[in-house]
């Protein structure tokens, strides 16, 4: 394919000269990330399939609106409307970055939608659709971007690549009525850890965020905060609050050495999430009886910190 360059110039900033692809960047968090990267000098590939909250086609092209906003601010951006939950769409996302801007430095996996049901009412199609977009929609862009960066590294070119995945508190703790979403978001955490371990040798760092912000997907959860406060009051639920961390994680040298981490971010709060690790242990050095194992578990639980509550649990 012929390489072309989009209009606009990247200014200075934390990500000056970097090329960033953001999936699901037409609205909400993805839009905020794309604009924030552009403000820090990055050239941005704005991916959005242009569908509604439930994944059905929408009448407009939100990606084009974001590209226009970036260019009007003097930045460089191009739209990608492919389905990143397909191998062809994910490959074309990477190709769009390379063919338009000459390289790809950062991938932000953000795309997703909801089909909420209690488990006994959750249909197989709704399970498959949500897992496909969230989990497969992370895996395939990650795979194709990683293949590109591995080839660059093997060709002797320096790689300082970054991947930022998007999980959720639902993936960390679970969320009532969101079994499909919680499972997919938990899977993204596992994928992040494996990718960080596998891709470090090629100069790729991989991290994940668990954001809380006001978007189309969180209208029900944050119904009482849907109207931004007036005056000088800090709007803790604005999606723009999440983007500074995402931009920093996707930058080059400033984020060197930070990989395999999960960060919960909401408003002005950033928390490093500590994953599964051994807690209290009982070792009998021989086989337990069922009653003995149960007694040991009861005793161990008494010495264990209580886990966070599942979202929505009474």
Q: Angle CA(291)–CA(292)–CA(298) in degrees, nearest 5?
A: 90
Name the pLDDT band for 54 (thresholds 50, 70, 90): low
pLDDT, tens digit, for every residue of 12-27? 799 999 999 999 999 9
pLDDT score of 232 = 62
Name the pLDDT band for 125 (thresholds 50, 70, 90): very high
H/E stretch holding 141? helix 137-154
Which listed residue (182, 185, 251, 255) is catalytic? 185
What is the rounded average pLDDT of the residues 90-97? 98
43 is known as an active-site residue:
no
Which listed residue (76, 92, 167, 168) is catalytic? 168
What mean pLDDT value characterizes the chain? 90
Taking the alpha carbons of 79, 82, 87, 88 in that order, is the dihedral positive or negative? negative
Cα 43 to Cα 10: distance, rounded to the nearest angstrom: 6
What is the rounded average pLDDT of the residues 105-124? 94
The pTM for the full model equals 0.89
The more confident residue out of 116 and 40 is 40
pLDDT, tens digit, for every residue of 189-232? 999 999 999 999 999 999 999 999 886 554 554 444 444 455 56
Tokens of 164: 């930022």
168 is known as an active-site residue:
yes
Cα 84 to Cα 51: distance, rounded to the nearest angstrom: 13
Which listed residue (148, 181, 182, 255) is catalytic? 181
Q: Which CATH class is domain 19-272?
A: alpha beta
143 is known as an active-site residue:
no
pLDDT score of 12 = 78
Cα 109 to Cα 123: distance, rounded to the nearest angstrom: 26
pLDDT score of 215 = 60
What is the rounded average pLDDT of the residues 58-68? 83
The more confident residue out of 173 and 55 is 173
Cα 70 to Cα 43: distance, rounded to the nearest angstrom: 9
Tokens of 253: 């040298």
E-only strand ranges, 176-238: 204-212
pLDDT score of 216 = 58
pLDDT score of 307 = 85
């Amino acid at each position: 394919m012929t390489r072309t360059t989009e209009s606009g110039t990247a200014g200075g900033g934390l990500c000056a000269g970097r090329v960033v692809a953001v999936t699901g960047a037409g609205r909400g968090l993805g839009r905020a990330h794309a604009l924030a990267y552009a403000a820090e000098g990055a050239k941005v590939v704005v991916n959005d399939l242009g569908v509604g909250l439930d994944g059905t086609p929408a009448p407009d092209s939100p990606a084009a609106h974001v590209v226009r906003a970036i260019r009007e601010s003097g930045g460089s951006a191009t739209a990608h409307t492919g389905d990143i939950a397909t191998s062809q769409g994910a490959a074309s996302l990477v190709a769009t970055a390379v063919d338009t801007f000459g390289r790809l430095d950062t991938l932000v996996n953000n795309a997703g939608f909801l089909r909420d049901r209690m488990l006994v009412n959750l249909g197989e199609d709704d399970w498959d659709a949500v897992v496909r977009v969230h989990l497969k929609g992370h895996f395939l862009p990650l795979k194709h971007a990683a293949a590109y960066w591995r080839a660059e590294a093997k060709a002797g070119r320096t790689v300082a690549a970054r991947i930022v995945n998007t999980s959720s508190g639902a993936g960390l703790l679970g969320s009532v009525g969101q079994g499909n979403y919680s499972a997919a978001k938990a899977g993204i955490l596992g994928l992040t850890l494996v990718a960080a371990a596998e891709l470090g040798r090629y100069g790729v760092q991989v991290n994940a965020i668990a954001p809380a912000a006001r978007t189309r997907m969180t209208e029900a959860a944050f119904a009482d905060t849907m109207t931004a406060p007036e005056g000088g009051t800090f709007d803790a639920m604005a999606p723009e609050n999440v983007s500074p961390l995402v931009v920093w994680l996707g930058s080059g040298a400033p984020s060197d050495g930070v990989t395999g981490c999960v960060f919960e971010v909401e408003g002005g709060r950033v928390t490093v999430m500590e994953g599964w690790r051994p807690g209290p242990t009982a070792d009998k050095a021989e086989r337990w009886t069922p009653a003995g194992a149960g007694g040991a578990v009861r005793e161990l639980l008494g010495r264990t910190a209580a886990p966070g509550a599942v979202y929505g649990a009474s």
